[in-house]
Amino acid sequence: MSTFFSQNLRFLRSKMSEKTSQEKLAELLNIKKPTLGSYESGRAEPKYADLISLAEFFKVEVDELLKEDLSKRIPGLSNKPKLRILATTVDANNEENIEMVPVKALAGYTASYDDLDFVRDLPTFQVPFLPKDKKYRVFPIKGESMLPLQPGSLVFAEYVEDWTQIKDGTICIVVTREDGVVLKQVINHLAERKVLILNSTNKTYDPYPILGSEIQEIWKFAGYFYNEFPEN
């Protein structure tokens, strides 16, 4: 049995939308908890029926579950099912909320963007004229790298599922492990080089590359709000 199986199983459980226990996952899969525990620890090889159930549940191929390190898969770089799970909230009518990331929460977003409890604590609202079939979030803009967009602007952005489809020159919120949340114009080389080039509209800032593996989320610019009238 591949050494990847047990670590993949632990990884996939950790990426579920809520902090799912072994007991809960075993219940969902109709597998005994001690059996699931032995699979995750590598003490037992999975029964064929359990292997099929696990692959179907997590929407991956059996071969991937056994032979690929799924934690290193770069989301958006193939037609395989994505492992990223977007933490999101809905209102009383089961309509998608627009969550706003306040400045004070911005620093913690890169560590907690996929934590449902963190996202639940963000302020939420609805904008009736935005399409209902797309997911939006609002981010505050800091610094002057994207002038003429002023620091303090609130950017409405649309969630991007497949990063390879982003067209060169698109303005995006890019959530990164090292640089945090940045608003940049992107040049897309993910498919062939596994890298994005991030450009500022303020040309005093140099463009720089970022590996796809360092990216956590991408949101496409959809509009902005600024509480002062623009100067000529």
More confident residue, 17 or 45: 45
Q: What is the 3-state secondary structure (H, E, C) of the chain?
A: CCCHHHHHHHHHHHCCCCCCCHHHHHHHHCCCHHHHHHHHHCCCCCCHHHHHHHHHHHCCCHHHHHHCCHHHCCCCCCCCCCCCCCCCCECCCCCECEEECCHHHHHHHHHHCCCHHHHHCCCEECCCCCCCCCCEEEEECCCCCCCCCCCCCEEEEEECCCHHHCCCCEEEEEEECCCEEEEEEEEEEHHHHCEEEEECCCCCCCCEEEEHHHEEEEEEEEEEECCCCCCC
With 0.85 as the threshold, say if the pTM is over it: no
Domains of the chain listed by start with CATH number:
4-72 (1.10.260.40), 98-225 (2.10.109.10)
For the stretch 62-111, pLDDT in tens is 878 888 888 877 554 444 444 456 889 988 888 899 999 999 999 899 99
pLDDT at 75: 56
**pLDDT confidence of residue 35:** 92
What is the tens place of the pLDDT at every residue in 186-204? 999 988 788 999 999 999 9
